[in-house]
Structure 1
């Protein structure tokens, strides 16, 4: 099997990372195939094999937390003298389009896909979810990369200036306050329902077609609250359009270090959205370990930490079986929340 874990392929201006579009990538595929065919095939993957790079199909729009995680990893791998990592946007269907494309690929480690909690753990846990492939049989969990905590936000003009005030108002008006989500069966919905169950509250669910319009309606005061990735709403918090009441995490975030922790009152509400990588089924365990270490060590590099912190991201070092265990653990957790709240995706 040919390993993608070679030394760097020198690019123009001395760079060893190439983040480019799909069209640009395919322009040099013929030469890359020739190089691969000319490389001796070894019985097991080896770090010393030359030339092959790694494509990562990113199932989400450029600029988002998932896309940023992959590109930060690619740049860190280049700094450390690793192989070329190409981030290729293949967005749509909660990341399933990218995953389905990777599931059809040769399991040689040269093509991976982004994998998020909502895709790998939440969707399979919610009845009615449309999943176009068998996640457990057609994909190999390679590694986790990073995570970002969710924040509980309310309108900037909300009368609730603390978590305690929100809980008191919701208890006094059961079933009247509304929360926004990015759709039925979404991570946002399950987070809000998890909070409602633990706090003994009832809310009205209002589903949107994306995080941006949902957060903007919270800012406008049309919705009472929302759980959202802190990285995606931090500018609204800083600008005063929304108020952050609590961080659903076990530790503070550098983006909002003074935000109270929801876990102090509700220990189970540690809700970190993670972003990892998967490959095709049939990847050799040794190859998974090598690629996993390549990415997780790059993310853990001291030079990478301030870059992650500036975006509200934390590195997560889970490789192969550990990442697979995380996926299954979170799937069971969200299945229980969905069952308790009678939540369906359809």
Structure 2
């Protein structure tokens, strides 16, 4: 199967080269040289746009942070879906360096590229032949002898080969990036089964940019994925921004006497783990009927009932009350029967130890799930 797919990729790559050569033959020597010239101009302007966008993004990043901080964001007590989305994105841009840089780079690149398109159009107007010149070229081409036409098309074919190789290398470099990000994926194995891909990547892509792609690209991809997850988790901070007075007072009382962040986190874990009961009716209504009952941490605190996300949101709210850095993490948890189901838990930062720890108040009744060494074996985040 992979051999057949590999052959398909080889044929597609070969088609790119063939079309480029055919275009070169059709355009002839002058037309092909002109096309190659504008192709090179386009590539140069693209690289220049990327360079300028990166430099400007570095310069503007701290300015954007200061601007958002000066906005003095006020989150409503009961934000709408649009308001939750807005505050989640804007606070993520403020707090996540890589995400902010990436967004700035993308926006600046497209703006700069749009402006440089004007330069590209001007070059086309200046150097591209006019209608009269094209007509004259056509008349000249018709007057050429067979040998002259053959020579022109041969030059055009050669230029087409050069253009095709450049296109082929760019496509193979992109495919090489896909393989680097997901080396064990089915599509990646199919790509690597292509003989033409292997030839171009081994002879050109790897010697020129292979180390950068294999080392840098996975790191960049991982950072994007991680910060996107952080943004998704942050929505609960936005929703639960306003802390009711009774929850605030309870959290302060529960953690009274705690000498460290770890002690605070542990006291809150023990309290929620022993006071809140799992709401099986709510869980079954969602799993069997698709009916979801949204409840705020204040509802969980009052009723002393909830499912995993309710435990996690209440814990996060109480932890923030006593100056703990905390996250609500969603994903899947082991169900004890060989499978996994939707779940939520928390991560807390311990300042004195300079590290994040994981805890699961929902599972507190089944054992100690506070900073447990094997925690990640049963909890898989989104």
* Relative contact order, higher structure (CA 8 A, sep 6+): 1
Larger Rg: 2
Q: TM-score range by the shorter chain?
A: under 0.3
What TM-score results when the alignment is normalised by the length of structure 2?
0.23
Greater share of residues in helix: 2
Greater share of residues in strand: 1
What TM-score results when the alignment is normalised by the length of structure 1?
0.24
